[in-house]
Amino acid sequence: MDLFNYCPRASHVVNVGKYPLGGDQPLRLQSMTTTPTTDTEGCVRQCMEIFDAGADYVRLTTQGMREAENLRAIAGELRRRGYDKPLVADVHFQPAVADVAATIVEKVRINPGNYVDPARKFQHVDYTDEEYMAELARLEQRFKVLLDICRRHHTALRIGVNHGSLSDRIMSRYGDTPAGIVESCMEFLRICVREQFTDVVISIKASNTQVMVRSVRLLCRVMAAEGMDFPLHLGVTEAGEGEDGRIKSAVGIGALLADGIGDTLRVSLSEEPKEEIPVAYHLASYVTRRAGHPMIPATAAPDFCYEDPQRRPTHAVAGIGGHNAPCVVSARLDGDGVCGALKPDFVYVGRNLPPAARRIEGARYLVDFDAWQAADGTYPVFHSPTLPFVAGCKAEAKFLCLSYMELNEEVMALLRRDSGIVLIARSTHANRLGEQRAFVHQLWREGLTHPVIMMEQYAYPATEREIFQLSAAADLGALLFDGITDGVLVANLTPAAPQAAADEAPDSDARHRLITHAVADETAFAILQAARLRTTKTEYISCPGCGRTLYDLPGTIARIKAATAHLTGLKIGIMGCIVNGPGEMADADYGYVGAARGKVSLYRGKECVEKNIDTAEAVDKLLALIESDRHNLADKA
């Protein structure tokens, strides 16, 4: 693939009813019902809402034979009401259920982690090579039954790998790694190839965006090496809800779409299913509109590894780069000093440095060189016109804002002489990701280790907050996962809505749409947290819910968030059922997992500490567990 120039990955067409995907087909959007699949009218209503919102496919959980058989009634009623778009059955644990579903709907999703292998128990099993091959032979024998049924009924198949439900067999041999995730998928794909069954789509999902992106990148390389071009379904599972869920999804999905990877996608939010579609639509349309952009001439640095990127080596300047977490720079040309919950590390004010009394406490200020005066906590910013003055400036740190095309030999010579420069990479190119990548790779190839801040500027109306956040997250995702970003500056070129306007907006919905400086700053912090590079608030790993959900998921999420939002850095998993429960929240500090109808189990890390609690008291018990652990930790300190 070309790191610098957008080009969709080649894939073959998969027939899914009347709406194929892959090849030259448009990006297909989808969601999943949350009603029990035995509730015909409830499922039909939700399917209609999802389709009316713009989805191409709807998936329904199909955990047993009753649910599988009722797909026929759901499909029939939808057809009677004029809806002909494909339905997808989501099957775990029971291959026979997949066999039945494949005779009814247009596509069936199976999970390699629990299709033939038993449910994950986090047990290490030592297999000899002969025993391992015997397990693969057993898998192949059973899987070929499903392939034959799919072939006879013209049913497509999704092989959907979830990081949280890798089998103990895979975990025992490969560990909890992208290599294990990819191999879990490839075992099934190799059977499909041998059986010449090509109507197959693949997904690799994880709540950890680093794991998700690295695994999909690796899968693309492994498939290419084995001559495969199966289309890909993208998603960040258990992304959560609200702004954090949207930003987390955009960071992961956007990073792959920006490299031309992906043929269909789902944004998994813990909200009403229809709310996922506008988010997915913006991501798809925003990224794909860069097709046919002017070519970016660039060469990748030899030490860069796309599938397993490590952070680019840099030296620290003013606490930026080196081993420091990426910083956040706020653009406030109007000198506004009103902050939200999170304060930026640096504030860029152009020529308008506010008086000390109006500055953000603890933040350092960046001022254009022609207005800068040496003072504590301020640094000069140079642009192309003031470049000749960099050498004579005695500031301890200098910031140089340039585009890739301005990174000429004169600049390279300056950087070789002066190690106290931080670069700000700006771009107005149609493919800003490619140009900013080229910027850093040029430095890397020249052996220059100066830190780089990525500047992302937009021009959205002041009420387009969600679009602003999704766009910034999609643009920054790949740069962050590549390990080439030492800081971010996210700003809206349209004059920011003043905080007073947000506070005085006539209703909460209007307030929540406004882009203030505080919103831009908090968006930058949220993007860094979504990429697992800097933690500044509590993280919630919550599933979107489906027909398997065993309690009031939205209400529970709201209660837990309200009681724990102040616990900065804590990760809490909130899972509707056991399918991905302990696995997907493996790096969470605490977990709340549906165990049976009206029952919940609590986890500390991967350890189940209390089983089958009534939902009426489960949230209080989770909060008591967290509080008890905090007190014990304080006593030990």
- Same domain membership, residue 43 and residue 170: yes
Domain harbouring 593, CATH code: 3.30.413.10
- Same domain membership, residue 333 and residue 231: no
Over residues 401-430, the mean pLDDT reads: 97
Domain harbouring 476, CATH code: 3.20.20
User: Between the ranges 164-173, 230-239, 332-341, 412-421, where is the mean pLDDT highest?
Assistant: 412-421
Domain containing 221 equals 28-288
- Same domain membership, residue 357 and residue 237: no
Over residues 622-629, the mean pLDDT reads: 90
Answer whether residue 309 is part of any domain.
no
Instruction: Report d(CA 477, CA 459) in Å as an integer.
Output: 20
- Under the banding of pLDDT at 50, 70 and 90, the label for residue 394 is very high
- Same domain membership, residue 347 and residue 251: no
Domain harbouring 82, CATH code: 3.20.20.20
Of the candidates 445, 322, 321, the residue with the CA atom closest to the CA atom of residue 4: 445
- Same domain membership, residue 449 and residue 348: yes
Answer whether residue 99 is part of any domain.
yes
Edge-to-edge strand list for the sheet holding 599-604: 539-542, 571-575, 590-596, 599-604, 607-614
- Same domain membership, residue 549 and residue 409: no
**Residue finishing a domain among 480, 506, 530:** 530
Answer whether residue 452 is part of any domain.
yes
- Under the banding of pLDDT at 50, 70 and 90, the label for residue 503 is low
- Same domain membership, residue 211 and residue 228: yes
Torsion of CA 190, 193, 198, 201, to 10 degrees: 10
- Strand segments (E) across 478-548: 487-492, 539-542
Answer whether residue 631 is part of any domain.
yes
Distance, CA of 574 to chain centre: 17
Over residues 465-479, the mean pLDDT reads: 97
Answer whether residue 555 is part of any domain.
yes
Answer whether residue 293 is part of any domain.
no
**Residues 109 and 102 sit within 8 Å (Cβ to Cβ):** no
**Residues 599 and 566 sit within 8 Å (Cβ to Cβ):** no
pLDDT at 226 over 90: yes
Domain count, the chain: 3
- Same domain membership, residue 553 and residue 431: no
- Under the banding of pLDDT at 50, 70 and 90, the label for residue 241 is confident
pLDDT at 162 over 80: yes
**Residue finishing a domain among 530, 561, 595:** 530
SS3 content of the chain, % helix, strand, coil (to 5): 40, 20, 45
Over residues 427-434, the mean pLDDT reads: 97
Span 36-65, pLDDT tens digits: 999 999 999 999 999 999 999 999 999 999
- Same domain membership, residue 477 and residue 412: yes
∠ CA 13-14-15, rounded to 5°: 115
3-state secondary structure (DSSP) of residue 319: coil
- What pLDDT was estimated at residue 434? 98
- Same domain membership, residue 212 and residue 114: yes
Answer whether residue 603 is part of any domain.
yes
Instruction: Report d(CA 118, CA 261) in Å as an integer.
Output: 31
Count other Cβ atoms within 10 Å, centred on residue 109. Answer: 23
- Under the banding of pLDDT at 50, 70 and 90, the label for residue 254 is very high
∠ CA 529-592-158, rounded to 5°: 75
User: Between the ranges 308-312, 374-378, 631-635, where is the mean pLDDT highest?
Assistant: 308-312
**Residues 410 and 438 sit within 8 Å (Cβ to Cβ):** no
Instruction: Report d(CA 559, CA 557) in Å as an integer.
Output: 6
- Same domain membership, residue 525 and residue 569: no
Gyration radius (Cα) of the chain, Å: 25
Sequence-distant (6+) residues with CB within 8 A of 595 are: 550, 578, 601, 611, 612
**Residue finishing a domain among 530, 554, 573:** 530
Over residues 322-326, the mean pLDDT reads: 97
∠ CA 596-598-601, rounded to 5°: 60
Instruction: Report d(CA 265, CA 160) in Å as an integer.
Output: 12
**Residues 209 and 252 sit within 8 Å (Cβ to Cβ):** yes
- Partnered with residue 457 across adjacent β-strands are 491
- Same domain membership, residue 145 and residue 58: yes
pTM given for the model: 0.94
Answer whether residue 491 is part of any domain.
yes
Distances (CA, A) of 12 to 6, 199, 434, 446, 611: 19, 9, 26, 39, 46
Backbone angles phi, psi at 444, to 5 degrees: -60, -45
Backbone angles phi, psi at 229, to 5 degrees: -135, 40
Distances (CA, A) of 68 to 41, 89, 517: 15, 8, 50
What percent of the chain has pLDDT above 90? 74
